[in-house]
Amino acid sequence: MNSVIVENNTCLGITWEGMDGVGHGGGVFLNQSTGEFSELSILNNNASSMGGGIWSSFGSGWALENSIVSGNIAPWNGGGIALWDNNSQGEGSSPTIMNTTISNNSATGSWWVGHAGGVMANNSNPHIIGSDISNNSSNNNGGGLNIWAGSDVLLDDCIISNNDASANGGGVYVATDAVGIELNRCLIIQNNSNSSAGGVSIGSSLGKITNCTISGNSGPNSGGLDFFSGSSGSVVNSIVWQNSPNNITATNSALSVRYSNIGGGFTGGEGNISEPPIFDAPHVGDYSLGPDSPCIDSGTADLDGDGEEDLTNFSGHGPDMGAFESFHGPAELQYVVQDSIATLWWSASTDPNFQYYVLERSTHPFFSEGIDTMYTTSPVYDDTNLDWDTFYYYRVATFTSNLSEYSDVISLIIEWLSINNRSLTPDNYALHQNYPNPFNPFTTLRYDLPDDIVVNILIYDMLGKIVKTLVSGEQNSGYKSVQWDATNNSGQAVSAGVYIISIQAEEFRDTRKMLFVK
């Protein structure tokens, strides 16, 4: 099922075993179900008991991707998604959730219910990948996620932020009867609980935390991470910083912390530091590492301490600490164009092990095709092999004993300015690639109109929603351009990411992708 909106539905419930109003799945009910679901919008639905947005039970190995689960309510458990006893049908009977936003959902009950504002897992082993679990609330444990009753949950590359729990585990709560949780490359920030840990609370189970950034969480007893009641915890290559009132607590639990940056320090453990991590721009939610961060290359590739490297996909001399591997290359990559020659320069390396620079040129902004590679020992390079009216993208890295991160990408074009050989009116309709690209925050869009015609130029986000109307009306023929300042139709700044520019002039239609960076 693809591209479906499930909105404003209510599950009324029935009387079951003496309880009134028992009904699960306000938006979607999946029992022993499989299938693939993409680009769903599950919005503002209400369950009478569990699973305000989605209920999934008794062996449902479905996959959900590129979707939104938001504004749903369950008075019992699982405001956004409730997973119940999926492990009962064996391996592979729990769902996979990818690139999905789970936000602003609520579990509103109290006493023995009200758990899991975002996602509840009861005897279920979901794999959640690249998803955003934010701004959910529970009136009990687990504002973002509540994991219990035999569940073993894996999260990769997720954001868990601004969730709130009236009891334990503002971001994540792992109950004492769960198997455990594994968090890899996750950002866990600004969550709050009224009891126990604001970030992640793990009881009597396994907690494996690798390359995570945990910051700005708050709770009355523990801010970032709390291991209790006989838990077994492992924290590697992670940053646990500026949580309130403290960063890590462990009560009657076995905890190993290695190669991590812990605010206030951590007694014991190999390779740990306690220095300001120097995030790029945490005030706007950017927790990537700044170029001077002590966390760059300070992690370990041997995650389990057995002497064998487990990580190979990292930049620089070693893995970074935290959720985001840094990509800082030589700084200040710049250029000037004279005639048909582009002269590029960048800051020179001061590394005593410096050997050479690797300069890449591509006609694709993501360097996915058409890459030319030049090697030079000078921080200045004249590129003479260029075509007119073609966008080129450049990035540079330094090779010492290993290849460094690449620099930020710059783009340029050598334009043929003479009109002697070009008509004042184009022969064909065309939409050209924006310039610069990537951009921040201004970019120029060029298009050609051979006729007087009604033109519509719109900008869409990757979910297909209109962000900005740039042109809407009749225009004269000619070579045209329009500028976009990365705002929406309400004048608000848009988020960094990929956007699509679309042009329609009667039968002519075309699109281009643009990358807005901050």
Mean pLDDT, rounded, for 446-457: 93
Residue 211's region, left for phi above 0, alpha for psi from -120 to 50, else beta, is left
The phi-psi region of residue 112 (left if phi > 0; otherwise alpha if psi is between -120 and 50; otherwise beta) is alpha
Q: Could you give the 3-state DSSP secondary structure of residue 87?
A: helix
- Region 311-325: mean pLDDT is 85
Convert the pLDDT of each residue in 244-284 to its tens digit.
Answer: 999 999 999 999 999 999 999 998 899 999 999 999 889 88
Position 422 scores a pLDDT of: 46
Q: What is 8-63 written as a DSSP string?
A: S-B---EEETTEEEE---SSEEEES---EEES-EEES-B-SSS-SSEEEESS---E
pLDDT in tens, 14-66: 777 777 778 899 999 999 999 999 999 999 999 999 999 999 999 999 999 99
Statement: residue 404 has pLDDT above 70:
yes
Q: Write out pLDDT tens, residues 197-218.
A: 999 999 988 999 999 999 999 9
Res 328 pLDDT > 90: no
User: What's the pTM?
Assistant: 0.68
pLDDT at 325: 86
* CA separation for the pair 5, 68 (Å, rounded): 9
Give residue 420's pLDDT band: very low, low, confident or very high (50, 70, 90).
very low
The average pLDDT across 140-144 equals 96
**Between 220 and 416, the higher pLDDT residue:** 220
Which has the closest alpha carbon to 22: 148, 89, 106, 113?
113
Q: Which pLDDT does position 406 carry in this prediction?
A: 84
Amino acid identity of residue 25, one-letter, is G
461 with 408: CB under 8 angstroms? Answer: no
| C-alpha closest to that of 366 among 398, 336, 411 | 411
The rounded Cα 355 to chain-centroid distance in angstroms is 35
Query: Residue 353 above 80 pLDDT?
Result: no
* Residue-range domain boundaries for the chain: 5-289, 334-413, 430-516
Measured in whole angstroms, the distance separating CA 77 from the mean position of its chain's CA atoms is 26
Query: Among all chains, which residue has been given the structure tokens 């009116």?
Result: 425
Could you tell me what percent of the chain has a pLDDT over 70? 97
What is the rounded CA–CA span in Å between residue 358 and residue 395?
A: 8
Q: What is the pLDDT of residue 416?
A: 61
Domain 334-413 and domain 430-516, same fold? Reply is yes
Hey, which residues does 456 pair with through a beta bridge? 472, 504
Q: What is the DSSP letter of 358?
A: E
Confidence of residue 418 (pLDDT cuts 50, 70, 90): very low
Looking at every residue in the chain, the average pLDDT score rounds to 90
Predicted pLDDT of residue 88: 87
High-pLDDT (> 90) share of the chain, %: 66
List the structure tokens of 254. Answer: 């076995």
Q: Residue 92 pLDDT more than 70? A: yes
pLDDT over 70 at 190, yes or no: yes
Name every residue whose Cβ is closer than 8 Å to that of residue 373 and which is 6 or more positions away in sequence.
358, 359, 360, 361
- Cα separations in angstroms, 43 against 53, 76, 102, 105, 188: 7, 18, 10, 9, 24
For 99, residues 6+ apart whose C-beta sits below 8 A from its C-beta are: 65, 66, 67, 129, 130, 131
Residue 339: pLDDT band by 50, 70, 90 thresholds?
low
β-strands 254-258, 232-236 pairing: parallel
What is the rounded CA–CA span in Å between residue 44 and residue 52?
Answer: 8
Q: Is it true that domain 334-413 has CATH number 2.70.210.12?
A: no
Compute the distance between CA of residue 437 and CA of residue 48 in angstroms, rounded to an integer: 49
| Integer CA distances (angstroms), 160 to 153, 199, 243, in order | 14, 9, 14
* Backbone φ and ψ of 459, nearest 5°: -115, 130
Residue 424 burial class via C-beta count within 10 angstroms: exposed 0-12, middle 13-18, buried 19 and up: exposed
The partner residues of 361 in beta bridges, in order of sequence, read 372, 394
pLDDT attached to residue 401: 63
Domain 430-516 matching CATH 3.40.50.150: the answer reads no
Contacts of 269 (CB under 8 A, 6+ apart): 256, 257, 258, 260
pLDDT of residue 419: 41
Neighbours of 160 (CB within 10 A): 32
